[in-house]
Amino acid sequence: MAKKLVIKVTAGADAPERCSQAFTVAAVAAASGVDVSLWLTGESAWFALPGRAAEFELPHAAPLPELLESVLAAGRVTLCTQCAARREITEKDVIEGVRIAGAQVFVQEIMGEDTQALVY
């Protein structure tokens, strides 16, 4: 089993089931002791902002704010640099604990030994 799990979520409110699946897998893995790195890209970039996860709704799914809090508490959350720039999101705008980083850091993470990468 991989010792590190890197999850890139590209969907937000535009594809709620895919978005929820990514956050759920990340939170469950983190709660299970797996080293988790969750990358917010595309429309999921908005969830790096305070209060935005609370606006997300999907019947029969765990609340997105709780899933995000779980990952922040036990893992890492990264907002894609280009995705942030396209949405005019800066480091001063994001939830505490969310970092902004680019493709070089993503590639470095996924190429690490004993790492599994998933894209939603």
> What predicted TM-score, i.e. pTM, was given to this entire model?
0.96
Question: Does residue 1 carry a pLDDT above 90?
Answer: no
Encoding tokens for residue 55?
């606006």
Tens digit of each residue's pLDDT (9 = 90 or more) over 38-73: 999 999 999 999 999 999 999 999 999 999 999 999
Q: How far is CA 84 from the centre of its chain?
A: 13
Mark 80-92 as b/e (b = at least 16 C-beta within 10 Å).
Answer: bbebbeebebeee
Mark 60-71 as b/e (b = at least 16 C-beta within 10 Å).
Answer: ebeebbebbebb
Residue 56 CA to residue 115 CA, distance in Å, equals 29
Per-residue CA distances from 67 to 21, 86, 103, 104, 108 (Å): 10, 25, 24, 26, 25
Q: How far is CA 34 from the centre of its chain?
A: 15
